[in-house]
Amino acid sequence: MTIPPAPDMSATVDDAAIEWRISPGLTPYPEALAAMEARAEAIRDGTASELVWLLEHPPLYTAGTSAVTDELLSPNRFPVYPAGRGGKYTYHGPGQRIGYVLLDLAARGRDIRAFVHGLEGWVIDTLADLGVPARREAGRIGIWTDAHGREAKVGAIGVRVRRWVSFHGFAVNIDPDLSHFGGIVPCGLPDFAVTSLSDLGKPSRIGAFDDALRARLPVFLDGLRHKPERP
């Protein structure tokens, strides 16, 4: 199934004038990284609003701060970019919804663990609205579900926080080419499969995911104000 690009849309949500931006087509990774860096600085300096930015990238691999060279199995398959976020290697490409979440955490509790926990919950609740039962797994960052009789990862989380402003965010597999994950050890977890909504028999347009995600935004933000209890 070919997923058309999401329509161009830029709007402001009610909570603290957060900009909600959707970029059509495929955004080059270096361009996105530079834009995030600049926006994070502007948020910290008080010259720009917080931002939730949804987009797709052309096929590429990114290396997080914990990436191990041996886990890049096909170094010449796609461009490889250092990301500066936490985590190891991951794949980005068409059919995968990327969410870059740039928030002022100094005004939202100054708790990075609560932010990551909330980000996971936001995606999990959104997937539930689309009929996909996803979950957290202890000791493994990311979004997990069951696919074809085994546990599989449907979404990745990778964030960076600088001067209490978050950037990077999440990647959710709607309908990417899953074979492209074969060029890396995804997130450094060789014993687990990668899946997508399409692979799970829950095909959905990226726009439908975006709509469900936006509807869940107030709950996510409220959770940052009311920190989850630690297990």
**Residue 137 tokens, joined:** 């797994």
pLDDT value for 190? 78
pLDDT value for 5? 36
Catalytically annotated residue among 123, 159, 187, 197: 187
CB 83 within 8 A of CB 50: no
pLDDT value for 229? 52
Q: How far apart are CA 90 and CA 222, in angstroms?
A: 29
> What's the CATH superfamily of 9-221?
Bira Bifunctional Protein; Domain 2 (3.30.930.10)
pTM, two decimals, is 0.89
Instruction: State whether residue 72 is helix, strand or coil.
Output: strand
| Ranges of the chain whose pLDDT falls below 70 | 1-16, 226-231
Would you call 145 a catalytic residue per the annotation? no
CB 13 within 8 A of CB 217: yes
pLDDT value for 139? 85
CB 170 within 8 A of CB 127: no
Average pLDDT, the chain: 90
